[in-house]
């Protein structure tokens, strides 16, 4: 006979700051319950079927697979999103793009573009907060487009549209009040690509040339043609790329160029405005 408390004690995940949380999330999912249930009913008996499911989840986690991929879901902003291995796992630092977007534009009608949407995290967070905005999400990967569309439909956000496009390729003649992107920005020889959770994520959503700036250069170079006068471009980038991104924005004539610092003390996003 196995009880919840003993399963958690025996989880034996690799030592990390999130090991206990990981075990609780995996057991709660195996049981089809919330994490609070585990603490409320620690002496509840677990069926052999549920215990086997939990054991399988643990084995996958011990192999390094991210919890979000094991469970097929991840929280972002105020939303629960479906995720899959062909898209990045939405991260808390990317919420900075959502916060900055909400600060820059009023709640009045506006056209917004999210480049490289993945699971649709940024688009759907903005659409949920600003019903008067219309947010267009694009991604070059068809599986990502389908995933973002499933999330959109499940959340019932009819002020968002998901399209297949490689950056601006399918958006000829379209202009926006705000363009946002969390593009690939890791250098192709970065050692982090073969370590930790990142090695399970798609390289196409991570790697951008020898210095990690290839996609940022392309976006910054083409964005002015798709921004309305006074429109903003917001970009997430690597912890050491802010100065280079500011220089790229300034070289394309953007104004009010500045970077913002994340909770880790790194310049995580940079933004600039097209002149009026």
| pLDDT exceeds 60 at position 1 | no
- 138 and 207 share one domain: yes
Order of strands across the sheet with 255-261? 160-164, 133-139, 110-115, 176-181, 227-236, 267-273, 255-261
pTM: 0.90
- Asked whether residue 11 is assigned to any structural domain, the reply reads yes
| pLDDT exceeds 80 at position 188 | no
What is the pLDDT at residue 262? 92
When divided into structural domains, the chain yields a total of: 2
Domain CATH code at residue 124? 3.40.50.150
What is the pLDDT at residue 64? 86
- 104 and 207 share one domain: yes
- 56 and 89 share one domain: no
What is the pLDDT at residue 129? 97
Average per-residue pLDDT in the chain? 91
Radius of gyration from C-alpha coordinates of the chain: 21
- 118 and 240 share one domain: yes
- Asked whether residue 80 is assigned to any structural domain, the reply reads no
Q: Where does the pLDDT of residue 200 fall: very low under 50, low under 70, confident under 90, or very high at 90 and above?
A: low
| pLDDT exceeds 80 at position 195 | no
Q: Where does the pLDDT of residue 185 fall: very low under 50, low under 70, confident under 90, or very high at 90 and above?
A: confident
- What average pLDDT does range 146-158 have in this prediction? 98
- 132 and 163 share one domain: yes
- Asked whether residue 68 is assigned to any structural domain, the reply reads no
- Asked whether residue 76 is assigned to any structural domain, the reply reads no
- 33 and 124 share one domain: no
- 35 and 112 share one domain: no
- Asked whether residue 202 is assigned to any structural domain, the reply reads yes
Q: Which residue has the higher pLDDT, 195 or 157?
A: 157
Quick check: helix, strand or coil at residue 161?
Answer: strand
For residue 157, the 8-state DSSP code is: -
- Asked whether residue 74 is assigned to any structural domain, the reply reads no
| pLDDT exceeds 60 at position 56 | yes
Residue 21: count of CB within 10 angstroms of its CB:
13
- 207 and 238 share one domain: yes
- Asked whether residue 203 is assigned to any structural domain, the reply reads yes
Tens digit of pLDDT for each residue in 112-145? 999 999 999 999 999 999 999 999 999 999 999 9
| Enclosing domain of residue 98 | 85-273
- 117 and 42 share one domain: no
- 110 and 242 share one domain: yes
- Asked whether residue 120 is assigned to any structural domain, the reply reads yes
- 201 and 263 share one domain: yes
Domain CATH code at residue 35? 1.10.8
- 19 and 129 share one domain: no
Burial 66-101 (b: 16+ CB within 10 A, else e): bbbbbbebbebbebebbbbebbbbbeebbbbbbebb
């Amino acid at each position: 006979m196995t009880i919840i408390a003993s399963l958690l004690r025996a989880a034996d995940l690799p030592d990390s700051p999130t090991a206990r949380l990981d075990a609780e999330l995996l057991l709660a999912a195996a049981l089809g319950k919330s994490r609070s249930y585990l603490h409320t009913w620690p002496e509840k008996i677990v069926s052999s079927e549920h215990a086997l499911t939990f054991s399988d989840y643990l084995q996958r986690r011990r192999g390094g697979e991210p919890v979000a991929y094991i469970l097929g879901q991840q929280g972002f902003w105020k939303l629960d999103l479906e995720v899959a291995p062909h898209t990045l796992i939405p991260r808390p630092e990317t919420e900075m793009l959502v916060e900055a977007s909400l600060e820059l534009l009023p709640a009045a009608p506006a056209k917004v573009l999210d480049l490289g949407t993945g699971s649709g995290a940024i688009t759907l967070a903005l659409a949920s907060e600003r019903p008067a905005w219309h947010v267009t999400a694009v991604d070059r990967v068809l599986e990502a487009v389908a995933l973002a569309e499933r999330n959109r439909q499940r959340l019932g956000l009819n002020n968002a549209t998901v399209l297949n496009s490689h950056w601006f390729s399918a958006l000829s003649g379209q202009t926006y009040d705000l363009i946002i992107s969390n593009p690939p920005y890791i250098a192709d020889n970065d050692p982090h690509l073969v370590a930790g959770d990142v090695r399970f994520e798609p390289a196409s959503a991570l790697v951008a040339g020898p210095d990690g700036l290839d996609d940022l250069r392309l976006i910054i170079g083409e964005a002015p043609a798709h921004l309305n006068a006074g429109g903003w471009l917001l970009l997430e980038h690597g912890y050491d790329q802010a100065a280079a991104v500011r220089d790229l924005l300034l070289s394309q004539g953007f104004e009010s160029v500045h970077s913002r610092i994340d909770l880790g003390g790194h310049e995580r996003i940079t933004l600039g405005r097209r002149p009026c």
